[in-house]
Amino acid sequence: MKYSELTLRYFETAVGAGVLTGSEVHRGAAGSRARGTWVQFDVQVASGDIRAARFLAFGCPHTIAVSAWVAEHAAGPAAGGALPESVQKLSDRFEVPAEKRGRLLIIEDAWVAALAAALQR
Amino acid sequence: MRADEAEMNRPVYLDHAATTPIDPRVAAAMAQCLGMQGEFGNPASSHEFGHAAAALVEQARAQVAASVGAAPREVIWTSGATEANNLAIFGIARYYREYGRHIVTARTEHKAVLDPCRELERHGWQVTYLAPDGGGVVHADQVAAALRPETVLVSIMHVNNEIGVIQDIAAIGAVCARHGGARLHVDAAQSAGKIAIDFAALGADLMSLSAHKVYGPKGVGALLLGQRGGAGTQLTALQFGGGQERGLRAGTVPTHQVVGMGLAFELARAAAPEIERIASLRERLWQGLASLGGTLRNGDAVRSVPHILNVSFEGVEGESLLAALRSRLAVSTGSACSSALQEPSYVLRALGRDEVLSESSLRFGLGRFTSQSDIDAAVVAVTEAVLRLRRIAGA
């Protein structure tokens, strides 16, 4: 399969892969390893702002690349729990094939779950 | 970048089960047929140029036959093993359709066998797909149990293209012989030139061969059609036009292609001692990969050819593993990538592997030009990729 230059860059560097610890850290996950795609985000939220984010991902290069991009661009207002960019825009940015766009919804679900945990505080 | 630098930067090629580079001696022999001074004539022509080309074609036929224990008259040139499989399956089905319309094959066969069988099912044929054991072996008693009075064909591959498992063709051949009406077809694309083959002794009636798996050219292969006893096995031709190959495969015989195949098979027979070296390299590769942990070898390790190793890696996703290796290592994945969404290998699924492990498998195909440094580089590349992906996955 061909991947865009951006997809390869984020897949290969996987910036932000890992976990966060601390009282301001909240975790959300979605998907299933047994079904081929699983994503987890840790977000550090203070005073309504996302200070840092990390991810873990079991999935295809698009899943890892987009998760890394989301973690890298997360800092700022929590904005009600939305992704830094819509699923459609992420799909366009990373040239995700139509057949694989459902995997971006798993990323979104993991992100929303993490932010929901933070915003409930 | 200089040519030698570009060569050094190419990934290590461990996909010889997919195809092999043409041996330089084979390429030279083929080139001899192509120019004005070579034997470019149509081998069917009745002039000097044609006679000279025909002599080369017959020499190649004898080379291929000798390398697999067949008689030259049993060799029918085709465009490759896929065409040979199609000719065998459809040809037998059509010729013997008044005797019965049942075929026995295995779930782990190549698509070039399974798809023709499915096509026949769409036209009223019945096909029994045997399930292999956990090691990928189809047993002769399974074949015996599946045979019916109306069975006209059993098609079982000699060596599986994904896991390298060798089937006991002689035992299956004996079962078919006892039945009397069931012809045995063997797809030998992965075994020819890799392990010794004696077509006559195996009890097969038909056998498919490919040149490009044996350091020969793509675009040429052969179907062996057994001529033992009585009238031998009969076929209905699938294409018509010039009556070539005893009317069983019409079309001008490509002299340079069959010359390449003939020499490639002869060289493979002479290179039999390399099998031990390749087996040693495969063991080195497996030991290196096994030290990673979470690695599962697919297929019966004892009953396998020396040039194929299939391994599943726990905790990694298959597409990402292949992508992580793409600049360092050329291997095949356990996924059939027919679209953007990869599907798990049906061969590994038939062995009982789950979907994730089936997708996270790699097939390593070693070859004549594979070196120890290639193997060591492959171990390093796979180890780094697997550890990195497991870290990203939190595994």
Residues 6 or more apart whose Cβ sits within 8 Å of residue B10: none
Pairwise CA distance, residues B381 & B376, whole Å: 9
Give the residue, B220 or B180, on which the prediction is more confident: B220
CA distance to partner chain A, nearest, from residue B87 (Å): 32
Q: Which of A117-121, B30-34, B293-297 has the lowest mean pLDDT?
A: A117-121
Taking the C-alpha atoms of residue B359 and residue B373, their distance in angstroms, rounded to an integer, is 27
Strand B343-344 relative to strand B361-365, pairing: unpaired
pLDDT category of residue B2 using cuts at 50, 70 and 90 = low
Q: How confident is the model at residue A44 (pLDDT cuts 50, 70, 90)?
A: very high
Is the distance from CB of B150 to CB of B296 less than 8 angstroms? Answer: no
Do residues B331 and B355 touch, judged by C-beta distance below 8 A?
no
Q: A119 with A46: CB under 8 angstroms?
A: no
Mean pLDDT of B325-332: 94
In sequence order, which ranges of chain B are alpha helices (DSSP H)? Answer: 3-9, 24-31, 48-67, 81-95, 111-121, 140-146, 169-179, 199-202, 255-270, 274-290, 318-325, 346-350, 355-359, 372-392
B339: amino acid identity, one letter? S
- Distance between first and last Cα of chain A: 43
Residue B224 dihedral angles phi and psi, to the nearest 5°: -85, 130
> Does the beta-carbon distance from B393 to A56 stay under 8 Å?
yes
**350-389 in B: which are within 8 Å (CB) of A?**
354-356, 359, 388
Choose which CATH entry (2.160.20.80, 3.40.50.10490, 3.40.950.10, 3.90.1010.10) describes domain A5-119: 3.90.1010.10
Q: Return left, alpha or beta for B342; rule: phi > 0 is left, psi -120 to 50 is alpha, else beta.
A: beta
Digit-coded pLDDT (tens) for B56-67 = 999 999 999 999
Task: Identify whether B337 is a catalytic site residue.
Answer: yes
Answer whether B337 sits within 8 Å of A17, measured CB to CB.
no
Rounded mean pLDDT of B324-341?
75
Looking at residues A45-65, what average pLDDT do you find?
A: 95
pLDDT for residue B338: 45
Interface touch B317/A14, C-beta < 8 Å: no
The span from the CA of B67 to the CA of B70, in Å, is 8
The pLDDT value given to residue B320: 95
Number of H helices, E strands in chain A: 4, 4
Residues of B whose CB is below 8 A from A57: 392-393
- Nearby residues of B246 by Cβ (< 8 Å), 6 or more positions away: B76
Among the CATH numbers 3.40.640.10, 3.90.180.10, 1.10.1660.10, 3.40.50.620, which is that of B24-270? 3.40.640.10
Q: Which carries the bigger pLDDT value, residue B228 or residue B107?
A: B107
Higher per-residue pLDDT: A118 or A29: A29
Count CB neighbours of B124 within 10 A.
Answer: 8
Tell which of A27, A38, A64, A69 to mutate to test the B interface (max B CBs under 10 Å): A64
Residues B337-350 as b/e (b if ≥16 CB within 10 A, e otherwise) read eeebbbebbbbbbb
- Asked if the C-beta of B323 comes within 8 angstroms of chain A's C-beta atoms, the answer is yes
To test the contact with chain B by mutation, choose from A9, A21, A58, A91 the residue with the greatest count of B C-beta atoms within 10 A, namely: A58
User: How far is B226 from B223, CA to CA, in rounded Å?
Assistant: 10
> Which of B130, B124, B128 has the alpha carbon at shortest distance from B93?
B124
pLDDT, one tens digit per residue, over B364-381 is 999 999 999 999 999 999
- Show the tokens assigned to B354: 């789950």
Smallest CA–CA separation between B392 and chain A, in Å? 5
Residue B238 has pLDDT above 70, yes or no: yes
Q: Maximum distance among all alpha carbons in chain A?
A: 43
Instruction: Report helix, strand or coil for A91.
Output: helix
Per-residue confidence band for B4, with pLDDT thresholds at 50, 70 and 90: low
- Smallest CA–CA distance, residue B326 to chain A, in Å, is 10
Q: What percentage of residues in chain B have a pLDDT greater than 70? A: 95
Look at residue A121 and tell me whether its pLDDT is greater than 70: no
Helix (H) or strand (E) holding B277: helix B274-290
Instruction: For residue B379, give the nearest of B286, B276, B277 by alpha carbon.
Output: B286
Average pLDDT over residues B297-310: 96
ipTM: 0.95
Give the model confidence (pLDDT) of A106-116 as tens digits: 999 999 999 98
Q: How much is the pLDDT for A63?
A: 97
Where does residue B232 fall: left (phi above 0), alpha (psi -120 to 50 degrees), or beta otherwise? left
Distances (CA, A) of A43 to A21, A28, B87, B297: 9, 9, 61, 39
pLDDT at B335 over 60: no
The architecture of the domain spanning B273-392 is Alpha-Beta Complex (3.90)
Q: CA A76, CA B357: separation in Å to the nearest integer?
A: 39
* Interchain pair B323, A1: CB under 8 A: yes
Rounded CA gap, B321 and B333, in Å?
Answer: 9
Token look-up 């050329």 returns B330
Chain A residue with minimum CA distance to B395:
A58
B72 CB-near residues (< 8 Å, 6+ apart):
B58, B61, B62, B65
Indicate if the pLDDT at residue B1 is higher than 80.
Answer: no
Backbone angles phi, psi at B148, to 5 degrees: -125, 165
Q: Read off the tokens for B42.
A: 């149509």
Residue of B nearest to A55 (CA): B392
Confidence of residue B340 (pLDDT cuts 50, 70, 90): low
Average pLDDT, chain B: 93
- Residues of chain B contacting A94 with CB distance shorter than 8 Å: none
Cβ separation A59–B317 shorter than 8 A: yes
B3 close contact with A: CB closer than 8 A: no
Over residues A75-104, the pLDDT tens digits come to 888 767 788 899 999 999 999 999 999 999
Give me the residue from B320, B339, B394 closest to A64, CB to CB: B320
**Any idea where the domains of chain B sit in the sequence?**
24-270, 273-392
pTM of the model: 0.92
Reported confidence tier of residue B78, pLDDT bands at 50, 70, 90: very high
Which of B341, B354, B394 minimises the CB distance to A100? Answer: B341
Mark yes or no for CB contact B340/A1 under 8 Å.
yes
Q: How far is B218 from chain A (nearest CA, A)?
A: 23
- CB < 8 Å to A1, chain B: 319, 323, 337, 340
- At B74, which amino acid appears? E
Residue B333 has pLDDT above 90, yes or no: no
Catalytic one among B33, B117, B176, B337? B337
Q: Containing H/E element for B156?
A: none
Average pLDDT along chain A: 93
Q: Could you tell me if B168 lies within 8 Å of chain A, comparing CB atoms?
A: no
Are B339 and A99 a contacting pair at CB < 8 A?
yes
For residue A86, give both structure tokens: 């819509």
**Chain A CB contacts of B356 below 8 Å:** 33-34, 36
